[in-house]
């Protein structure tokens, strides 16, 4: 039996998204990447926000601090998980960092569905676009709260 570990990214800490895309019974981990935090100069308030978002998830999350490469390598040596997954971040710099680490450690990446569906028509004015997608956006936002 293959066990799965999902390496969560700060952009994808949504209970509904995790329930939809993560395999049942998967171990969830989050790594506070010290290099990334220093590079981005995250405030203590931002770090606390991420931590609280992790605690609000309905599934237990193993939380680590350090270099993701070292932590993933150590987990592979000590655990029985055979499949590793992560979400592909939208932030281009974070995406590159995560995908480089993922490639080096044989971590598959998942691309979450867009929050607002791609529209088949083009809009010249934002308010027209907003009128078309606002109900969907509000429904999705309320779904994430429940």
11, 14, 16, 17 alpha-carbon torsion, rounded to 10° = 20
- Return the structure tokens found at 123: 């809009």
Q: Are residues 29 and 99 in the same domain?
A: yes
Mean pLDDT for 30-55 is 92
The mean pLDDT of the chain is: 84
Buried b (16+ CB within 10 A) or exposed e, 49-87: ebeebbeebeeebeebeeebeebbeebeeeeebeebbbb
Q: Are residues 127 and 109 in the same domain?
A: no
pLDDT of amino acid 142: 65
Q: Are residues 103 and 138 in the same domain?
A: no
pLDDT of amino acid 32: 95
Q: Are residues 101 and 125 in the same domain?
A: no
Please say if the pLDDT value at position 69 is more than 60.
yes
pLDDT of amino acid 89: 85
Q: What is the pLDDT of residues 84-130, one digit of tens each?
A: 999 888 888 888 998 899 888 888 888 777 666 666 677 788 777 77
Q: Are residues 99 and 125 in the same domain?
A: no
The whole-angstrom separation of Cα 61 and Cα 18 is: 11
- Percent of the chain exceeding pLDDT 90 equals 27
Q: Which of 33, 30, 32, 25 is nearest to 80 (CA)?
A: 25
pLDDT of amino acid 91: 85
- Percent of the chain exceeding pLDDT 70 equals 86
């Amino acid at each position: 039996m293959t066990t799965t570990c999902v390496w969560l990214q700060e952009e994808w800490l949504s209970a509904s998204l995790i329930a939809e895309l993560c395999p049942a019974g998967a171990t969830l981990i989050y790594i506070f990447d010290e290099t990334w935090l220093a590079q981005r100069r995250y405030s203590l308030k931002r770090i606390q926000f991420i931590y609280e978002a992790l605690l609000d998830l309905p599934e237990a999350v193993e939380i680590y601090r350090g270099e993701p490469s070292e932590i993933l390598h150590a987990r592979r040596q000590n655990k029985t998980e055979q499949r590793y997954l992560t979400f592909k971040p939208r932030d281009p710099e974070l995406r590159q960092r995560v995908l480089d680490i993922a490639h080096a450690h044989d971590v598959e990446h998942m691309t979450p569905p867009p929050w607002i569906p791609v529209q088949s028509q083009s809009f010249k004015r934002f308010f027209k676009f907003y009128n078309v997608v606002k109900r969907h956006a509000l429904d999705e936002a309320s779904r994430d709260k429940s």
